């Protein structure tokens, strides 16, 4: 699963990118999506999981969304925004963005 | 899988009942304490029985931790799973039920409502249990509620195959 090692990336490109950086980019992209309320928080922090796969970066998010949005469209918009932001900054392919909706927040 | 889980739950419940009962009888001194101590000492002396009891209590301990976690996972488990070229999307049952309850309360004549969703191969079944206000017409209320919930699941959540919305009126206030 995690065959795209940081070490090999180091040798080839002379730098490595910490998961926290990718996580920050994801949060920045999520802030730009109107219908997202928050990233779901777990016992060990926000539920953002990043994996380095053969095909690129794999992102797994658990989100709480605002009510009133069509969920499939909102998820697709979020996936597009996150993918664009990560690829633009890191110039690395994003293989997949899996999103789990954990809550729908009533916002008056 | 469900039968297997039921068996495991059965084992843990029986074990808990027996241990509680033993503790109860020992506290009342119906079972003498020295008898328990004697039995435990005898167990300690034989390696095989000691090993068996270590495995048994270890298994019960693991079960006591794992089963509640599995049940918790099921409650919040994914009900809708959609795929697009960018990845996958899942919506937890808890999120959908919570929101159905909120929109259900918005229907005139509904005092309180509880929702449950079951995923079948041919579609999704929704079960609603409600407390209705006495002055409202119940058939109209149920009809409106079914339409609202079905539309919400079709348009907002993206579930196209809502098989049926079953409504049970539990109370009329």
Task: Give all domains of chain A, ordered by start, each with its CATH number.
Answer: 6-105 (3.30.70.1350)
| Distance between CA atoms of residues B97 and B120, nearest Å | 16
Q: Hey, are the CB atoms on A104 and B88 less than 8 Å from each other?
A: no
- Partner residue facing A71 (CB), from B76, B91, B98: B91
| Distance between CA atoms of residues B28 and A85, nearest Å | 68
Clarify whether residues B63 and B113 are in a common domain.
Answer: no
Clarify whether residues B69 and B110 are in a common domain.
Answer: no
Q: Which two tokens stand for residue B5?
A: 């889980």
Is B82 within a domain? no
Q: What is the ipTM of this complex?
A: 0.78
- Which residue from A minimizes the CA distance to B81? A100
- Which residue from A minimizes the CA distance to B99? A104
| Distance between CA atoms of residues B37 and B12, nearest Å | 24
H runs (alpha helix) in chain B: 2-27, 33-45, 47-75, 93-105, 138-151
Q: What's the confidence (pLDDT) of residue B32?
A: 84
Is B84 within a domain? no
Number of Cβ pairs closer than 8 Å across A and B?
A: 62
Clarify whether residues B123 and B94 are in a common domain.
Answer: yes
Q: What's the confidence (pLDDT) of residue B93?
A: 85
State which residues form the domain around B159.
89-172
Clarify whether residues B168 and B94 are in a common domain.
Answer: yes
Clarify whether residues B126 and B149 are in a common domain.
Answer: yes
Q: What's the confidence (pLDDT) of residue A13?
A: 67
Is B38 within a domain? yes
The answer to whether A49 faces chain B, any CB pair under 8 Å, is no
Mind listing the pLDDT tens digit for each residue in A33-87? 999 999 998 777 888 999 988 888 999 999 999 988 889 999 999 999 999 999 9
> Which range among A2-16, A25-39, B146-160 shows the weakest confidence by mean pLDDT?
A2-16
Clarify whether residues B103 and B137 are in a common domain.
Answer: yes
Residues written for chain B: 173
Q: What's the confidence (pLDDT) of residue B99?
A: 85
The answer to whether A100 faces chain B, any CB pair under 8 Å, is yes
- Token look-up 């008898």 returns B35
Mind listing the pLDDT tens digit for each residue in B137-149? 888 888 898 999 9
Residue where one domain finishes, among candidates B75, B103, B124: B75
Is B71 within a domain? yes
Clarify whether residues B98 and B161 are in a common domain.
Answer: yes
Average pLDDT over residues A11-18: 72
Q: Hey, are the CB atoms on A72 and B99 less than 8 Å from each other?
A: no
Clarify whether residues B15 and B51 are in a common domain.
Answer: yes
CATH code of the domain containing B157? 3.30.70.1350
Clarify whether residues B109 and B168 are in a common domain.
Answer: yes
Is B119 within a domain? yes
- Token look-up 């079914």 returns B146
Q: Which two tokens stand for residue B49?
A: 């029985």
> Domain total for chain B?
2
Tell me A56's DSSP state. Answer: S
Is B95 within a domain? yes
Q: What's the confidence (pLDDT) of residue B94?
A: 85
The answer to whether A101 faces chain B, any CB pair under 8 Å, is yes
- Partner residue facing B158 (CB), from A67, A71, A96: A71
Clarify whether residues B96 and B137 are in a common domain.
Answer: yes
Q: What's the confidence (pLDDT) of residue A79?
A: 94
Chain B, residues 100-139, CB within 8 A of chain A, namely 102
The answer to whether A84 faces chain B, any CB pair under 8 Å, is no
- What angle is formed at CA B165 by the lines to CA B70 and CA A105, rounded to 5 degrees? 60
Q: Which two tokens stand for residue A30?
A: 């999520």
Q: Which two tokens stand for residue B128?
A: 């609603």
Residue A4 has pLDDT above 50, yes or no: no
In the predicted model, residues of chain B with pLDDT beneath 50 are: none
Distance from the Cα of A102 to chain B's closest Cα (Å) equals: 5
Clarify whether residues B67 and B96 are in a common domain.
Answer: no
| Distance between CA atoms of residues B18 and B28, nearest Å | 15
Question: pTM (2 decimals)?
Answer: 0.67
Residue where one domain finishes, among candidates B35, B51, B75: B75
Q: Hey, are the CB atoms on B84 and A104 less than 8 Å from each other?
A: no
Clarify whether residues B160 and B102 are in a common domain.
Answer: yes
């Amino acid at each position: 699963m995690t065959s795209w090692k940081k070490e090999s990336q180091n040798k080839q490109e002379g730098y490595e990118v910490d998961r926290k950086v990718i996580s920050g980019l994801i949060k920045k992209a999520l802030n730009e999506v109107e219908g997202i309320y928050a990233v779901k928080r777990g016992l060990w922090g926000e539920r953002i999981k990043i994996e380095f796969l053969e095909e690129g970066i794999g992102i797994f998010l658990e989100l709480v969304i605002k009510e009133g949005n069509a969920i499939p469209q909102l998820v697709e918009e979020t996936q597009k925004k996150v993918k664009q932001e990560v690829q633009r900054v890191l110039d690395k392919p994003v293989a997949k963005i899996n999103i789990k909706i954990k809550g729908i927040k009533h916002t008056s | 899988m469900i039968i297997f889980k039921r068996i495991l739950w059965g084992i843990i419940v029986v074990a808990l009942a027996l241990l509680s009962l033993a503790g109860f009888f020992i506290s009342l001194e119906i079972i003498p304490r020295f008898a328990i101590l004697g039995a435990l000492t005898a167990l300690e002396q034989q390696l095989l029985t000691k090993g068996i009891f270590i495995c048994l209590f270890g298994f019960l301990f693991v079960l006591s931790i794992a089963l509640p976690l599995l049940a918790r996972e099921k409650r919040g488990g994914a009900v809708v799973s959609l795929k697009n070229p960018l990845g996958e999307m899942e919506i937890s049952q808890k999120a959908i039920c919570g929101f159905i309850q909120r929109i259900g309360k918005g229907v005139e004549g509904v005092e309180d409502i509880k929702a449950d969703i079951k995923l079948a191969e041919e579609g999704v079944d929704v079960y609603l249990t409600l407390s209705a206000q006495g002055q409202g017409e119940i058939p109209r209320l149920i009809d409106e509620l079914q339409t609202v919930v079905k539309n919400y699941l079709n348009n907002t959540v993206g579930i196209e195959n809502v098989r049926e919305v079953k409504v049970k009126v539990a109370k009329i206030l």
